[in-house]
């Protein structure tokens, strides 16, 4: 008799739990629009000129991904409270994968954020095994392989798309690795070393292939370089200590220097992140001017966008930049603890 009563009580509990879960299914939330259209739009240059850059939105923490919420998650949230969002403390480098994967280095958090824009997931990777990141600053995708420079460890760390450690190299050659770019034309990784004032070229297995440049101010020489990007057979290097960027070929020959120290249009104070859009324009982030300057392939200034501040479209100590296949411009707005997203608008006839 006791067993029958116990069984009946268990069934009643299960039915009650099922009813509760069903009632909370109505609280489920579908996936939201990642970057809803802004009204009014924020564009550069302003009217009456034809806009060429548009602000799309920003990502500060995992809640900005607007992920779907299931009924069971809604119930868990009601019973235990909302999960704390995963935040960026000081995003520095940013790398975009064509499958919608965004890698963001965060030296302030000693971590790398892996953000899946399609699945709307946000993972923070602080280390592997007993090892920990010290100061991850640069990131570059090679297929589903992610290479991260760690200035604190003096190494390049390889992760897979799920954040699992796959290898480490460069400890014998690197002193202060910062920027990194994968060059498909050579199947090589180009790593900027700010302490050596050089660009080191590695094979994907970690073998050192070449060393480009030396300390100095002449073309092909560097003074505390920080960032690098690739387009075809050209590299753009932020020669930060010389307040300029250098366009070089894959063997390190300087094709053109752009900019100089100053406060005029086209001048630089502290150039950092560099990128190319689909039409070959050059984008340079200036961490002291708090803006992004855009140049044509010959190094002529076309426009600039952004200014110092905390509101959307403004920057506070910006650093890294990358541009995806849709010409969306992802800028690490470090001092504002966010990634701001813009879009290059092609000219219309």
Instruction: Show me where the domains of the chain are located.
Output: 43-73+88-344
pTM over 0.85? The answer is yes
Whether the predicted pLDDT of 92 surpasses 50: yes
Chain mean pLDDT for the chain: 91
Q: What is the pLDDT of residue 27?
A: 64
Q: What is the pLDDT of residue 24?
A: 47
Topology of the domain covering 43-73+88-344: Neuraminidase (2.120.10)
d(CA 326, CA 43): 17
Dihedral angle over CA of 249, 159, 225, 93, nearest 10: 110
Whether the predicted pLDDT of 328 surpasses 90: yes
Tens of pLDDT, residue by residue over 177-217, are 999 999 999 999 999 999 999 999 999 999 999 999 999 99
β-pair partners for 97 = 101
Identify whether the C-beta of residue 140 lies closer than 8 Å to the C-beta of residue 96. Answer: no
Q: Check the CA dihedral 325-331-144-64 and report its sign.
A: negative
Phi (first) and psi of residue 111, to 5 degrees:
-155, 165
Whether the predicted pLDDT of 88 surpasses 70: yes
Higher pLDDT, 29 or 79: 29
Tens of pLDDT, residue by residue over 41-66, are 999 999 999 999 999 999 999 999 99
d(CA 94, CA 164): 18
Tens of pLDDT, residue by residue over 231-256, are 999 999 999 999 999 999 999 999 99
68 pLDDT tier (thresholds 50, 70, 90) = confident
Whether the predicted pLDDT of 12 surpasses 80: no
Whether the predicted pLDDT of 25 surpasses 70: no
Quick one: average pLDDT of 88-116?
97
Q: What is the pLDDT of residue 17?
A: 44
Q: What is the pLDDT of residue 30?
A: 87
Q: What is the pLDDT of residue 71?
A: 66
Omega before 45 cis (within 30°)? Answer: yes
Dihedral angle over CA of 123, 105, 146, 320, nearest 10: 130
Q: What is the pLDDT of residue 77?
A: 61
Identify whether the C-beta of residue 289 lies closer than 8 Å to the C-beta of residue 265. Answer: no
Quick one: average pLDDT of 130-147?
98
């Amino acid at each position: 008799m006791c067993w029958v009563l116990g069984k009946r009580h268990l069934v009643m509990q299960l039915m009650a739990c099922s009813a509760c879960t069903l009632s909370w299914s109505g609280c489920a939330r579908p996936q939201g629009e990642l970057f809803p259209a802004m009204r009014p739009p924020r564009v550069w240059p302003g009217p009456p000129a034809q806009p060429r850059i548009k602000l799309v939105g920003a990502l500060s923490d995992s809640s900005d991904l607007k992920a779907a919420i299931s009924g069971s998650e809604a119930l868990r949230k009601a019973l235990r409270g909302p999960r704390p969002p995963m935040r960026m403390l000081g995003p520095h480098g940013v790398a975009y994968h064509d499958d919608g994967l965004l890698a963001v280095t965060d030296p302030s958090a000693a971590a790398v954020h892996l953000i899946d824009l399609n699945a709307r997931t946000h993972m923070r990777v602080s280390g592997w095994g007993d090892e920990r990141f010290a100061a991850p600053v640069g990131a570059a995708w090679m297929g589903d392989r992610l290479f991260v420079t760690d200035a604190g460890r003096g190494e390049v760390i390889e992760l897979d798309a799920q954040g699992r450690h796959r290898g480490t190299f460069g400890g014998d050659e690197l002193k202060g690795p910062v920027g990194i770019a994968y060059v498909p034309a050579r199947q090589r990784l180009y790593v900027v070393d700010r302490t050596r004032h050089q660009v080191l070229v590695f094979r994907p297995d970690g073998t050192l292939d070449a060393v480009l440049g030396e300390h100095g101010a002449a073309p092909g020489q560097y003074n505390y370089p920080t960032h690098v990007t690739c387009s075809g057979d050209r590299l753009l290097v932020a020669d930060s200590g010389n307040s300029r960027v250098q366009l070089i070929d894959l063997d390190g020959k300087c094709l053109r220097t752009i900019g100089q120290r100053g406060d005029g249009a086209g001048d630089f104070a502290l150039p950092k992140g560099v990128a190319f859009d689909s039409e070959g324009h050059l984008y340079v982030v200036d961490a002291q001017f708090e803006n992004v300057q855009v140049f044509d392939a010959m190094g002529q200034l076309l426009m600039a966008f952004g200014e110092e501040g905390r509101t959307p479209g403004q920057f506070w100590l910006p650093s890294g930049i990358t541009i995806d296949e849709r010409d969306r411009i992802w800028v690490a707005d470090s001092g504002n603890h966010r990634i701001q997203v813009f879009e290059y608008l092609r000219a219309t006839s």
